[in-house]
């Protein structure tokens, strides 16, 4: 497993420059995206019901279908823009020199876009979470102007925080940071937040409906990793994030951002300690393959009645370093699944299958072989 994830990181770094144009084109789709369609409240829905009595059922159905398709198209634009971490199943050899660490908040991952005098947040499935007024540039009527959008990668946490915890900034006043490395993006976020916040926090005010707090980061010294692990940051933690200093903001799952947690720094360290290991995999009818979030083919489905593209939950017998089926192609992580059996359906809201690194991480933790904070920090 160690050799596989190391090699995958090296390939990801070398591919960055080649995918620059594709990355910027996809970034522009968010920067140029139209304002979200309003979701009617109960009163407007009731008015709509009354109005429908004077329309034909056919016309109403067509209008609703068009509106639904337009909203879904907007959701797809945003859902494809997130950079998703792989799970840490080995410690990078250059962790001390080339990586940054920050606490990962528990909560709902979302992308916040301030543009056109309003601010909207969307979940990792692209669905509208909040529409509100913020003190971000161009995020409210009072800060609106010709400055262009601001786009922040955040976690929304309820409870005492009830606000947005900022992990990354990928656009600021129309200045795109998608092709900048992690260290520059984090430095830029600090400098820009200093202009509009007090001590890194944008508090709730009459013109700022939700507070924004910039999550602190550090270079990966043993002391910094231990501090990120043990310190109280004023929010509930869900493990740690490790960013390669040279990583551009990539779309999809990347080995240049790693996620790790244990029971001491997360309330949800493992899905389940009892029963079989369960993973969500996606079925493709053309070759009866079951695939992970990275696109790795990890098994063949025995059943023929799966819907193409459907995501379902499967039980995993064991993980191996060699393909249990000679028809399976080799993958970069060098991890394969054996004794894969259909377990149950996934909910309709499921957007992506599990990453292979997550399946491996869960398996290692269940077997008591997961990485400890001591092995990561080197203390």
- Residue corresponding to tokens 């004023």: 234
C-alpha pair distances (Å), 370 with each of 76, 80, 376: 35, 30, 11
What are φ and ψ of residue 24, in 5° steps? -70, -35
Share of the chain above pLDDT 70, in %: 87
Share of the chain above pLDDT 90, in %: 61
Structure confidence at residue 29 as a pLDDT band (50, 70, 90): low
Tell me the residue ranges of DSSP E strands in 36-137.
83-87, 99-105, 108-115, 118-123, 128-132
Contacts of 18 (CB under 8 A, 6+ apart): none
pLDDT tens-digit readout, 364-374: 999 999 999 99
Q: Which of 25-29, 80-84, 89-93, 169-173 has the lowest mean pLDDT?
A: 25-29
pLDDT tens-digit readout, 204-216: 999 999 999 999 9
End-to-end CA distance of the chain: 23
pLDDT tens-digit readout, 248-304: 998 889 999 999 999 999 999 887 778 899 999 999 988 899 999 999 999 988 766
Q: What is the distance between the alpha carbons of residues 68 and 60, in angstroms, rounded to a whole number?
A: 12
- Domains, the chain, with CATH or none: 83-260 (3.30.470.30), 277-374 (no CATH)
Which structure tokens are listed for 53? 């009595």
User: For position 84, what pLDDT does the model report?
Assistant: 94
User: For position 45, what pLDDT does the model report?
Assistant: 41
Question: DSSP class of residue 193?
Answer: H
C-alpha pair distances (Å), 198 with each of 37, 214, 228: 33, 11, 22
Global pTM value: 0.87
Structure confidence at residue 107 as a pLDDT band (50, 70, 90): very high
- Residue corresponding to tokens 């001491």: 264
Strand partners for 83:
252
């Amino acid at each position: 497993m160690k050799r596989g994830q190391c090699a995958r990181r090296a390939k990801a770094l070398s591919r960055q420059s080649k995918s620059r144009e594709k990355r910027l084109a996809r970034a522009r789709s968010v920067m140029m995206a139209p304002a979200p369609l309003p979701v009617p409240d109960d009163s407007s829905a009731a008015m709509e019901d009354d109005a429908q009595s004077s329309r034909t059922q056919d016309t109403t159905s067509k209008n609703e279908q068009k509106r639904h398709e337009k909203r879904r198209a907007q959701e797809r634009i945003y859902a494809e823009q997130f950079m998703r971490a792989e799970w840490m199943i080995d410690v990078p050899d250059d962790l001390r020199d080339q990586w940054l660490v920050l606490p990962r908040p528990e909560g709902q991952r979302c992308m916040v876009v301030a543009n056109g005098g309003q601010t909207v947040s969307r979940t990792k499935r692209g669905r509208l979470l909040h529409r509100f007024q913020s003190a971000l540039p161009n995020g409210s009527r009072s800060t609106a102007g010709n400055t262009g959008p601001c786009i922040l990668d955040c976690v929304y946490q309820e409870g005492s925080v009830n606000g947005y915890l900022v992990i990354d900034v990928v656009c600021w006043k129309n200045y795109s940071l998608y092709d900048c490395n992690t260290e520059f993006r984090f430095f830029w976020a600090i400098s820009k937040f200093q202009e509009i916040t007090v001590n890194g926090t944008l508090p709730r005010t009459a013109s700022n409906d939700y507070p924004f707090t910039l999550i602190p980061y550090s270079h990966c010294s043993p002391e910094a990793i231990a501090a990120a692990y043990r310190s109280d940051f004023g929010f509930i933690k869900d493990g740690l994030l490790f960013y390669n200093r040279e990583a551009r903001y990539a779309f999809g799952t990347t080995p240049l951002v790693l996620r790790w947690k244990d029971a001491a720094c997360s309330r949800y360290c493992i899905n389940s300690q009892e029963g079989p290991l369960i993973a969500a995999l996606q079925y493709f009818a053309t070759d009866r393959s079951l695939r992970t979030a990275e696109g790795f083919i990890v098994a063949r489905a025995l059943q023929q009645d799966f819907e193409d593209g459907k995501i379902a939950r499967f039980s995993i017998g064991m993980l191996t370093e060699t393909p249990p089926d000679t028809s399976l192609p080799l993958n970069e992580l060098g991890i394969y699944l054996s004794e894969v059996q259909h377990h149950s359906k996934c909910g309709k809201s499921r957007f992506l299958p599990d990453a292979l690194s997550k399946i491996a991480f869960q398996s290692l933790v269940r077997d008591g072989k997961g990485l400890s904070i001591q092995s990561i920090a080197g203390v």
